[in-house]
Amino acid sequence: EKRVWGVLVAVLSKKKKPMSRYAVIDLGTNTFHLLIVEKSTPDAPPVEVYRERRFVKLAEAGIEKIGPEPWKRGIETIEAYAQKIKEWKVGHVRAVGTAALREAENGAAFIREIFDRTGIAIELISGEEEARLIYLGVRAAISENGAANLIMDIGGGSVEFIFFDQKGIQKAFSFPVGVAVLYRKFHRHEPILPEEINALETFLTQTLKPLIEELPRHTSLRLIGASGAFEVVENMLETRRRSGPVAYAPASDFSKIYSRVVGASLEERLQMEGIPAIRADLIVVAFILIRFILERADIKEIVVCDYALKEGVLFEMFEAARD
């Protein structure tokens, strides 16, 4: 069996066909992703052949500078990805860097070392471009039903918000308030203290002011979560239902898991089913951020989407290959 963009299909024939293979590397602040797909013809659906993610945590020492250990993990990860790309004989490769590489004072040096070691050129994209590519990826998975939508992609260094409807993007924002940033600024005790939550929410009120002013213009929204934090939301919500690369749950059910996660210590979170150990530290500020939005927006449903930046980049690659 092979996975065709969220759908399992049987491989009916072993007859070899000429394949075009595409690889995307997403260098996020917390996680580096590799996705490789192949297409038998320009019009054929892409078939996923390899996927990997590694938690590099580039901002472990702060978003301002990549520390020695994250640097080492990051280089080793891209070298491993370069080897996989070589093994799969990929013909089209695109690698994109986001918030941590935008903000870190030694980000450019990190990008140069990757190129020197692997020959892979990292494309440093803006927050606005990141939002646009996330939208393209989400639209590949979300069926159009006339709903008003708000995409929320919680990264380590930044968070993107994209309002869209059947006509396309209405408004997009990118803010440097990713979970690695919020964690270092506000989550200093276990469990997090009420005064730390208050300080975090005050900071969000000030930093997200343009978004907060935009929210009242949109009603009956679907909140589409396109990040690892929302994977945890899906894992913990008993009312979820999944269809292909998308899962759905009533927005009102988030409160049922919020207090349990935010009120727990790190040791307790590590024991909770549905929270991967690698996310147990940052998930508290992610949940506070999600609740902050839910309390200020008219949101009826939470949608967890497996597609985001990587898939958006892939679709642009397909279009470029077609031209």
Domains of the chain with bracketed CATH: 2-127 (3.30.420.40), 141-305 (3.30.420.150)
Q: Of 15-19, 85-89, 227-231, which one has max mean pLDDT?
A: 85-89
292: pLDDT strictly greater than 70: yes
209: pLDDT strictly greater than 60: yes
What is the bridge-based pairing of β-strands 92-97 and 122-124? parallel
What are 13-61's pLDDT values in tens digits? 344 556 799 999 999 999 999 999 999 998 899 999 999 999 999 999 9
Q: How many residues does the chain have?
A: 323
Average pLDDT estimate for 193-212? 98
- Contact (Cβ atoms closer than 8 angstroms) between residue 113 and residue 293: no
Contacts of 117 (CB under 8 A, 6+ apart): 75, 78, 79
Q: How far does CA 1 lie from the centroid of its chain?
A: 26
